[in-house]
């Protein structure tokens, strides 16, 4: 599901459209390796109106539906924290190995250009908590799938996956068909 209003304006923003936000995402070819087109959200984050529009728009579909936002390292943290605040929800972090100081659950996964592992504190999500997974970008779906597996292992109920942008050609949704997906910018 792609969430926009009838006027193609982000929720809470009369001045910016989804196209305006997409225009603030910079393309970096061949990063982090040849053949990869990196979508750099830092110009969008640097613009106060754009940042506000993104947070408001990403939070809107989940008002009253999430107890905790699980943000995925690292750009997911940037979006996840203000979304959790806007929802009145807690925030939990999914990180790469060795970054969390307490006992963790781990999940290996593959991505567009390699493989990695994600970790979450064993007490980050309690059984029955309603969880919103947040990241900046959906590519192959491996990172989100790994994070979802961790949340499920801890007993959380995933009420949604929310990403700012989606690379549709990489078909990440195919590994997430069991999860309610929301994206706003589709490449």
Give the CA distances from residue 187 to residues 7, 123, 181, in Å, rounded to whole numbers and listed in that order: 20, 36, 15
Mention every residue, 6+ apart, whose C-beta is less than 8 A from residue 46.
none
Angle formed by the axes of helices 48-59 and 75-87, to 10°?
A: 60
The catalytic position among 112, 130, 153, 173 is 112
Active-site entry in 39, 75, 95, 145:
75
The question of whether 166 is a catalytic residue gets the answer: no
Signed CA dihedral, 32, 34, 40, 42: sign only: positive
Residue 107 annotated to the active site: no
CA neighbor of 142 nearest in space, from 165, 168, 108 = 108
Residues catalogued as catalytic: 75, 112
């Amino acid at each position: 599901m792609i969430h926009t209003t009838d006027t193609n304006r982000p929720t809470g923003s009369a001045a910016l459209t989804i196209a305006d936000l997409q225009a603030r995402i910079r393309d970096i070819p061949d990063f982090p390796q040849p053949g990869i087109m990196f979508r750099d959200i830092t110009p969008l984050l640097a613009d106060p109106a754009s940042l506000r529009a993104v947070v408001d728009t990403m939070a809107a579909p989940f008002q009253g539906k999430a107890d905790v936002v699980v943000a995925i390292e690292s750009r997911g943290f940037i979006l996840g924290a203000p979304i959790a605040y806007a929802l009145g929800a807690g925030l939990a972090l999914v990180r790469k190995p060795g970054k969390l100081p307490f006992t963790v659950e781990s999940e290996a996964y593959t991505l567009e250009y390699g493989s990695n592992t994600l970790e979450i504190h064993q007490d980050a999500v309690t059984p029955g908590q309603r969880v919103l997974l947040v990241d900046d970008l959906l590519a192959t779906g491996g990172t989100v799938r790994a994070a979802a597996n961790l949340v499920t292992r801890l007993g959380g109920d995933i009420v949604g996956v929310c990403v700012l942008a989606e690379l549709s050609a990489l078909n990440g949704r195919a590994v997430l068909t069991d999860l309610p997906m929301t994206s706003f910018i589709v490449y």
